[in-house]
Amino acid sequence: MAFDALTTRDRPLSEPALAQLFTEARTRNAWTDRPVDEDLLRKLYDLTKFGPTAVNATPARFVFVTSPEAKARLAPLMADANREKTLQAPVNVIIGHDIEFHEHLPVLFPHAPGAKDWFGEEGGRRETAFRNGSLQGGYFLLAARALGLDVGPMSGFDAEGVRNEFFPGTTIEPNFIVNLGYGSDENLFPRSPRLSFDEAAQIL
């Protein structure tokens, strides 16, 4: 097959694109005051939703915290080391997962009408929701970088407090929180080492 006949999915991304997503991207600890438009947040979700999940369960749920009032609710629930940068970032995103995701399977996985019944046991639902919601969280980070945004994912927060404050009366549990916007180089640590292929992987 001639190269010109290849579809776009057969062509690797350019080196600058790979750098933007991976090799030169950094976790940001400080933020400029440049705002993030709501339309961009909607586009970010619309990219994230296409990432694959088991039985198309898409259990992740997203709360975009942007207003001073909402930030005032979130800030006290963050670990001390994360509070200042959370308040500085234009957007904080609470990424959770719905334990009752299976209720949506008749719509999301219509070619298997009995799919909802595969998840009758709560322990299995919880495991599936956490695994696939975490996958969606990873897609979210890459989608944000692809759109020119910077990210700062965090796990230091009061999970039960966030659940009570932002998901009361629901079956949604928080997983992690992402600061989102246009980062600055302030408090940017040197890039930490990574394991080599031979240390972390094998080919059988």
Q: What percent of the chain has pLDDT over 70?
A: 96
Neighbour count for residue 201 (Cβ, 10 Å)? 8
Q: What is the pLDDT of residues 16-71, one digit of tens each?
A: 999 999 999 999 999 999 999 999 999 999 999 999 999 999 999 999 999 999 99
Residue 107 main-chain phi, psi, to 5 deg:
-90, -45
- The predicted structure's pLDDT at residue 1: 45
Q: What is the pLDDT of residues 114-166, one digit of tens each?
A: 999 999 999 999 999 999 999 999 999 999 999 999 999 999 999 999 999 99
- The predicted structure's pLDDT at residue 10: 80
Residue 8 has pLDDT above 90, yes or no: no
Q: Would you place residue 9 in the very low, low, confident or very high pLDDT band (cuts 50, 70, 90)?
A: confident
Site of tokens 């190269």: 3
d(CA 201, CA 143): 25
- Return the structure tokens found at 193: 């080492």
What pairs with residue 60 in β-bridges?
97
Q: Show the domains of the chain with their CATH numbers.
A: 26-185 (3.40.109.10)
Q: What is the pLDDT of residues 104-124, one digit of tens each?
A: 999 999 999 999 999 999 999
Residue 3 has pLDDT above 70, yes or no: no
Mean pLDDT of the chain: 95
| Crossing angle of helices 122-146 and 38-48, rounded to 10° | 130
d(CA 94, CA 121): 26
Query: What pairing do the DSSP bridges indicate for beta strands 150-154 and 172-181?
Result: antiparallel
What pairs with residue 179 in β-bridges?
92, 152
- The predicted structure's pLDDT at residue 64: 98
d(CA 66, CA 44): 15
